[in-house]
Amino acid sequence: MPGISGGKTYHHGDLRNALICAAVDLATEGGPERVVLREAARRVGVSPTAAYRHFDGRGELLAAVREHARRALADSMERAALRVPGADDPALAAEARLAALCHGYVAFAVDQPGLYRSAFSAPRTASDATAGHGAAPGPSAGADPDAEDGCSDVRAFSLLTDALAALAATARPPRPPRPAAEAAAWSAVHGLSLLLLEGPLRRLPAQRRADVVESTLAMVVSGTRAD
């Protein structure tokens, strides 16, 4: 989705899409906290009243940004998997694909921290705050309390699930994936990403960070194939 640079005036066309583009730019710059409907309207060059004709409020706009961010995350994973050279051994090919998908996940988080955090943000409404149901961004199964898109509808999760199933199928004899293996793998890459972005791992030198990523992803792969 192309961005809209600050100060560019909106004249015609699809205002809803233009507001989403502006909101994606805001999220890229500063995460979900920066996504404000009035600021998106200002960047597009329309009045807040015009923006509210397309979005009920910040929560609805943030949900659109979240959808975009999740697509971008999955795209990063798929691009990483496409760069993996082919292997004659199906087991090695399946392991390489799983590792690459995980690499693409972590790389997106590190390269696009604002969008990454937005991908797991839960829009908080006034009624949520009153009832104490507000949710902070987090890895808990990828589902949001105000949405019906459970983790199976998050493409990043589906990619990991399919890769784990393919890896399990290469075992001799073939076996089903370990119970909840997909959630464990997602938790590992998501937790690693957060530690690299906001935790003590962010202070590591570049080579040490790369070593930590490689070791963690190797554990993910080896853990899924253990008997």
- State the pLDDT confidence band at 222, using cuts at 50, 70 and 90: confident
Instruction: Check pLDDT > 60 for residue 227.
Output: no
Question: Per-residue pLDDT tens for 152-190?
Answer: 568 999 999 999 999 988 887 877 777 888 899 999 999
Q: What is the CA radius of gyration of the chain?
A: 20
CA pair distance 226, 173, nearest whole angstrom: 13
Mean pLDDT value across residues 196-219: 93
Domain boundaries, the chain: 1-55, 65-225
| CATH architecture type of domain 65-225 | Orthogonal Bundle (1.10)
- pLDDT tens for 66-118 read 999 999 999 999 999 999 987 789 989 999 999 999 999 999 999 999 999 99
Q: In the prediction, which pLDDT does 224 show?
A: 73
Q: Supply angle C-alpha 122, 161, 115, rounded to 5.
A: 35
The span from the CA of 57 to the CA of 66, in Å, is: 15
Query: Per-residue pLDDT averaged across 192-220, rounded?
Result: 93
Mean pLDDT value of segment 197-210: 92
Contact 77, 159 (CB under 8 A): yes
Closest CA to 210 of 139, 110, 113: 110
- Give the tokens for residue 123: 């829009």
Q: Model pTM?
A: 0.81
The widest CA-to-CA distance across the chain, in whole angstroms, is 63
Q: What is the pLDDT of residues 117-138, one digit of tens each?
A: 999 987 565 444 443 333 334 4
Query: Residue 34, Cβ neighbours under 10 Å: how many?
Result: 17
